[in-house]
Structure 1
Amino acid sequence: MKTFFLKFKQARLRTVLAGLAGALVLLLILYFSANRQPPLTAEEQLLVGEWEIAPDFPTRFFHADRSFERSDRDSVGTWKIKEGRLSITSWQPYKLPSSLSMAGLTRSLESIERSRKKSTEEMIISFSDKGQRFILDRKWEWSRKTDR
């Protein structure tokens, strides 16, 4: 009888230890995968929103989590502003096959390769009109998109 209870206690102890180890691993994964970005600066807060350069061109969405995307979904990426310079790292998103044809599958596979190629641009940014416009490299003027 003692051996049964001893084996039961040992099995219970192993179960508790395995549970604790699993919980520790889960906590470590959550800690290291958490997005711990510093809060947006006042200048970065001005950039959050949808912007357009001309009515016929795709707009840019700058999100508060420092991600961005074009309205035509041709590129996505991340952004940050540091010392008056906007830095954008972008790539083309993966596109699912449009059909099960060989051409559709080929385009989808090619998009995997393009989605791995990242490019980074850095430009001088300045805001005007109480944050309703910004200018990049003193050349391109973007306006906050408003519903027309």
Structure 2
Amino acid sequence: MKMNIAMIAHDKKKDELVQFAMAYQHVLKDHCLYATGTTGTRIAEATGLSVHRFQSGPLGGDQQIGAMIAENEMDMVLFFRDPLTAQPHEPDIMALIRLCDVYAIPLATNLGGAEIFIHGLERGDLNWRKLVHGKEEDQID
């Protein structure tokens, strides 16, 4: 089943997310990828994968992804957060996390969680999204 996957990274975590995308591009290539600003550009350049880019996080990219979650159009969020650096748009970040909880969207906030999710995605463990939310495979584009 093709999934819509958001990929977001704070500045100090961008390299880590790009390396993750490179390591798992064989899995990610079969899904629709969305990312905020610079993160999306860096992933696309490093992997050759097609990535729909939103605004940067501080300029509303987190909210754009949040809107997709609220409309049941996002299936997974990989958000490599930097917990040691203050973020000027912290309320937007917390709103995005809250939306993932409200709509039961799998959310990984670090490399360890993302590794588990990507292996589950590869095995088909996330196909419950089709059942729980009444999605048909052709509806997820």
TM class by shorter-chain length?
A: under 0.3
Q: TM-score, normalised by structure 1?
A: 0.26
Kindly indicate which of the two structures has a greater share of residues assigned to helix: 2
Larger Rg: 1
